């Protein structure tokens, strides 16, 4: 299950994590985001214990969204040691997302 990440939990959950973190920036009204949602949940299950997988609702967490320049959603950022190491914009197949996250384990 993907974690819900907020402006207030972002630093502890993402930046201070000792594991790679995949963050899906999304919104309730976004059609492609709803398509990507189940894929992100599958990735969260597959990588449980190896990586952190979370979601940021851009409407409710504008501070983090602005800080990372999120202009199009869905956008997936992969963090390692507090730094962005990879990025995907739009809907991508599970295999592509899993491959990108695996590269940072």
SS3 32: helix
Tokens representing residue 69 in the block: 């320049």
The C-alpha atoms of residue 11 and residue 19 are separated, in whole angstroms, by 14
Candidates 93, 88, 91, 100; CA nearest to 30 is 91
Q: Which of 3, 30, 85, 88 is catalytic?
A: 30
Catalytic-residue membership of 33: yes
10 Å CB burial of residue 79 (0-12, 13-18, 19+) is buried
Catalytic-residue membership of 3: no
Q: Which of 22, 23, 33, 73 is catalytic?
A: 33
Catalogue the active-site residues. 30, 33
């Amino acid at each position: 299950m993907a974690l819900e990440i907020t402006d207030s939990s972002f630093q502890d959950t993402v930046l201070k994590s000792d594991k790679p973190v995949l963050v899906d920036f999304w919104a309730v009204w976004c059609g492609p985001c709803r398509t990507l949602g189940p894929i992100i949940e599958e990735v969260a299950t597959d990588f449980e214990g190896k990586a952190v997988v979370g979601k940021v609702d851009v409407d409710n967490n504008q501070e983090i969204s602005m800080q990372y320049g999120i202009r199009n959603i869905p956008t997936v950022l992969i963090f390692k040691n507090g730094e962005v190491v990879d990025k995907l914009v739009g809907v991508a197949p599970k295999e592509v997302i899993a491959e990108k996250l695996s590269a940072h384990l």
